Chain A
Amino acid sequence: DTAVSQTPKYLVTQMGNDKSIKCEQNLGHDTMYWYKQDSKKFLKIMFSYNNKELIINETVPNRFSPKSPDKAHLNLHINSLELGDSAVYFCASSQTGLYTDTQYFGPGTRLTVL
């Protein structure tokens, strides 16, 4: 069984559209994350949730809204997509949310905005 899964793997869409990326972890972890990896492979945290509560919210446009229906799921909804949103988005999870925890990453979702 995949520990951290994301759907879809690829997402191609037009500017202005709204899209969602789903993430699920079956590790029983309390904390989940969304990272953005740009075209230069630079990886940066976007959000972090611990037991469905937002604990990290980096400087991300309001068009990005994470939603955690339960601690095994963390979805990312993006409104009014822009060209600059094209990137690979990674979901991750960790046991407690302490920075000392190992973070387990999903395979990524490659978003292309045309």
Chain B
Amino acid sequence: AQSVTQPDIHITVSEGASLELRCNYSYGATPYLFWYVQSPGQGLQLLLKYFSGDTLVQGIKGFEAEFKRSQSSFNLRKPSVHWSDAAEYFCAVGGQAGTALIFGKGTTLSVSS
């Protein structure tokens, strides 16, 4: 069965420091991978997605993610975090037509000054 694991429940990063949020997936075929961000009191917004091709994907707000098939991972990175990046981050996997996205349990990012 498809599943997504985000091992880190809560991460605190200093403003200006780099960030990496981990995501591991379980899926038998080629997965389609997504990162969404949820700001406090808001709905989810897509940061980036990966379907095929270049394994390094660029997204909005300066985020990028790298797909590593050998590690079943799709980690999200940002070189320099801003206070406005404090939010909940969700990794999701989809793989078959007619099926829904499967979301991980999310990682809460706090940014300290």
Contact = CB atoms under 8 A, between A and B. Distances in A.
Interface of A: 4, 33, 40-45, 48, 55-56, 58, 90, 92, 97-100, 102-108
B101 to A, nearest CB: 6
Contacts, number: 59
B99 A106 contact: no
Contacts of A92: 43-44
A56 B43 contact: no
Lowest 9 CB-CB distances: which A-B pairs, in order? A99-B94, A105-B43, A45-B100, A105-B44, A43-B103, A41-B106, A102-B46, A107-B43, A106-B43
Contact of A103 (B41, B46, B95, B108): B46
B32 to A, nearest CB: 6
Contacts of B105: 40-42
B99 A56 contact: yes
A43 B38 CA distance: 11
Nearest to B93: A99
A90 B98 contact: no
Contacts of A104: 46
Contacts of B90: 43
Interface string B35-48: 01010011111100
**Range of interface residues on B (Cβ < 8 Å):** 20 to 34
B103 A42 contact: yes
Contacts of B106: 41-43
B106 to A, nearest CB: 5
B98 A55 contact: yes
- Counting chain B CB atoms within 10 Å of each CB, the highest count among A40, A41, A42, A106 belongs to A41
A48 B103 contact: no
14 contacts: A41-B38, A41-B106, A43-B106, A58-B100, A90-B44, A92-B43, A92-B44, A99-B94, A99-B99, A99-B100, A102-B46, A102-B49, A103-B101, A104-B46
